[in-house]
Amino acid sequence: MDEQMDRIDGLSKKIWLEALRVLSEHRATRISMRAHLRKWTATMGYDKRTRSLVETLVMGTTRYRNTIDFIIARVSHVTGKARFNTWEHGVLRLVLFTCRWLGQDFNKILGFLEGDYLHVQKLAKLAVTFDLERAASRLDEISMYSILLSHPSFIVETLFENLSKEDAISLMKANNESRIVYLRPNMLSPDRLAVEDLAKETSLEISKDSDITGLYRIEGSAERIVTSEAYTKGLVILQDKTSVIAVKALSPLHGATVWDACAAPGMKTQLIEESMDETSRVVASDVHVDRLRTALDQAKLYGMRGVSWLLSDSITCPVVGASRILIDAPCSSTGMLRSHPSLKWRLNKEMLLSLMTIQNRILDGVISGYAERPGTEIVYATCSILPHEGESQIDSTMDRHNVELLDASPYGRPGYSGFKCSSKVRRFFPHTDGTNGFFLARLRITG
């Protein structure tokens, strides 16, 4: 919270109203708030300071939306005012976040409002002083932590079932903090970057990761990296540590063929190519044409010349002869709630079931396609903290196919307990590993 307070110093009416507009317009979209902010940044000519302040207000309000709406509902019940239009609801949400979470002066923020919002002002005043802890303590345990830590009750219940209560609470608290950012130099580029020079250019503290050679951890906002010349020229790549670990789990062989089965946008594919020699072959496929176009643009930027790109559904197993296969499967992305908090409020059981079906079909398609090639190794990964997309999928796969489970990685912790695969697979969490939430499994076809 201290970091947020520093970033919000000097808040103006213009910035606050711009954040309100971004929040209101997002409600009519189907994209994540982070993606919506990127579109807003691309069309608005604001300076870095303004963009940073708007992002702080927008992402913070989104991150604590569950808690904010609970408070609004309670004070609305007291006053008898329970219906708001989209704009009024956005005003209440933003006032509440700005005053309760960022400690801004209530009267100053009210001065930003334009038009007749007397009824909203009365509600806002009650909301800012509302006794949240007392109200939440009257709820059942799952609902209480859902409100206090601003996570959907489904996620709270799932984490309590698979982690100790202390661990689950620490994870949810970490999800509400700023993400930790990692970068690595692009070793395919002829213009090799000295990370020390990048640190000087951006005035950021950039330190070597303690586990992975060539990976660096950034202390501070990643915006300075994204707007740097080194980044725009493709000399440096932002990539979470877990993604790097997933590629390392492949242990690609020289002279081998590696298939990246769900490749776009291609950062893992780039790292695979980095780790192989000229006798090796990399094939990257994706079913979504727009994502594949983006990956091809990225490939040009990064100087990727040894990759064969394929528009195809991995379920049909379009690639033959690979000795290593990476399945970075479509998932709920619940491991990325620090950077994409709006995902918390868009996930439901129907969506999760649909994602699990896709994951299941990809695993079935790939393994069935390689059933006659014993020794082929498959790394399965999801950026998810839910066992439905990790341990449960691997247990089910092992019941249906002739595969054995290998140790996935020396990093991370064993999977959630109670599954047959628990000891071999790996899980990563923001509160213990400083990474995205991530699941990793390594399989070998036995024939």
SS3 readout for the chain = CHHHHHHCCCCCHHHHHHHHHHHHHHCCCCCCHHHHHHHHHHHCCCCHHHHHHHHHHHHHHHHCHHHHHHHHHHHHHHHCCCCCCHHHHHHHHHHHHHHHHCCCCHHHHHCCCCCCCHHHHHHHHHHHCCCHHHHHCCCCHHHHHHHHCCCCHHHHHHHHHHCCHHHHHHHHHHHCCCCCEEEEECCCCCCCCCHHHHHHHHCCEEEECCCCCCCEEEECCCHHHHCCHHHHCCCEEECCHHHHHHHHHHCCCCCCEEEECCCCCCHHHHHHHHCCCCCCEEEEEECCHHHHHHHHHHHHHHCCCCEEEEECCHHHCCCCCCCEEEEECCCCCHHHCCCCHHHHHCCCHHHHHHHHHHHHHHHHHHHHHCCCCCCCEEEEEECCCCHHHCHHHHHHHHHHCCEEEECCCCCCEECCCCCCCCCCCEEECHHHHCCCCEEEEEEEECC
Rounded mean pLDDT, 29-54: 86
Question: What pLDDT is attached to residue 68?
Answer: 97
In this prediction, residue 382 carries a pLDDT of 98
Whole-number pLDDT of residue 47: 83
φ/ψ of 441, rounded to 5, equals: -135, 150
Question: Are both 217 and 251 inside the same structural domain?
Answer: no
User: Could you give the CA distance from residue 146 to residue 17 in angstroms, rounded to a whole number?
Assistant: 29
* Together in a domain, 293 and 216: no
Q: Is 169 among the domain residues?
A: no
CA torsion, ordered 326, 415, 398, 248, to nearest 10 deg: 20
Cα–Cα distances (Å) from 87 to 60, 166, 374, in that order, read 18, 38, 60
pLDDT, position 266: 95
29: domain CATH number?
Answer: 1.10.940
Residue where a domain stops, chosen among 138, 156, 172: 138
Task: Give the pTM.
Answer: 0.94
* Residue-level pLDDT at 173: 97
Domain stops at, among 213, 238, 263: 238
Cα(169)–Cα(156) distance, rounded to whole angstroms?
9
Asked if residue 116 has pLDDT above 70, the reply is: no
Same domain, 211 and 316: no
Shared domain check, 6 and 120:
yes
Reply yes or no on whether the pLDDT at 46 is more than 90: no
pLDDT bucket at 3, cuts 50 / 70 / 90: very low
Report the alpha-carbon distance of residue 250 to residue 380 in Å, rounded: 10
Phi and psi, residue 431, nearest 5°: -80, -20
Q: Sort residue 10 into left (φ over 0), alpha (ψ -120 to 50) or beta.
A: left
| Domain co-membership, 362 together with 400 | yes
Are 213 and 291 members of one domain? no
Domain count, the chain: 3
Q: Measured on CA atoms in the order 57, 120, 99, 172, is the torsion positive or negative? A: negative
Are residues 217 and 281 located together in one domain of the fold?
Answer: no
Helix axes 65-79, 118-128, angle to 10 degrees: 120
The reply to whether 78 falls in a domain is yes
Task: Verify that 252 and 211 share a domain, yes or no.
Answer: no
Q: Looking at the domain assignment, is residue 223 inside a domain?
A: yes
Domain check: are 323 and 251 in the same one?
Answer: yes
Angle, helices 267-274/289-302, rounded to nearest 10 degrees: 40
Stretch 205-211: mean pLDDT = 94
At position 52, the amino acid (one-letter code) is: S
Do 273 and 374 lie in a common domain? Answer: yes
Instruction: Name the residue range of residue 325's domain.
Output: 241-445
Q: Does the pLDDT at position 115 exceed 80? A: no
Q: Is residue 146 part of a domain?
A: no
Q: Decide if pLDDT at 71 tops 70.
A: yes
Within a domain: residue 98?
yes
pLDDT grade for 447, boundaries at 50, 70 and 90 = confident
Q: Please state, in angstroms and rounded to a whole number, the distance separating the CA atoms of residues 20 and 416.
A: 40
pLDDT over threshold 70, residue 80: no
**pLDDT for the residue numbered 296:** 97
Encode pLDDT of 306-363 as tens digits.
999 999 999 999 999 999 999 999 999 999 999 999 999 999 989 999 999 999 999 9
pLDDT of residue 165: 97
Instruction: Kindly state the average pLDDT of the residues 270-279.
Output: 91
Q: How confident is residue 6, by pLDDT bands cut at 50, 70 and 90?
A: very low
Given a cut of 90, whether residue 194 has pLDDT beyond it is no
CATH number of the domain within which 190 lies: 3.30.70.1170
| Distance (Å, whole) CA 75 – CA 61 | 18
Position 331 in a domain: yes
What single-letter amino acid sits at 315? I
Burial of 391 (0-12, 13-18, 19+ CB in 10 A): buried
What was the pLDDT predicted at 89? 87
Cβ-based neighbours of 360, under 8 Å, separated by 6 or more? 393, 396, 397
What average pLDDT does the segment 246-267 reach?
92
% of the chain surpassing 90 pLDDT: 75
Q: Does 245 have pLDDT greater than 60? A: yes
What is the mean pLDDT of the segment spanning 217-236?
87
Q: What is the mean pLDDT of residues 83-89?
A: 79
Provide mean pLDDT across the span 368-378. 96
**444 or 45: which leads in pLDDT:** 444
Q: Which of 82, 113, 138 is the last residue of a domain?
A: 138
Residue 373, pLDDT score:
96
Measured from the Cβ of residue 375, the count of other Cβ atoms closer than 10 Å reads: 10
Q: Is the domain of 332 the same as that of 343?
A: yes
pLDDT > 70: what percent of the chain?
96
pLDDT above 70: residue 1? no
Residue 62 lies in a domain: yes
Q: Domain for residue 143, yes or no?
A: no
- Shared domain check, 202 and 66: no
Average pLDDT over residues 68-86: 80
Average pLDDT of the chain is: 92
Q: pLDDT (tens digit, 9 = 90+) per residue, 124-182?
A: 999 999 999 999 999 999 999 999 999 999 999 999 999 999 999 999 999 999 889 99
Q: What is the pLDDT of residue 261?
A: 97
CA distance 99 to 102: 6
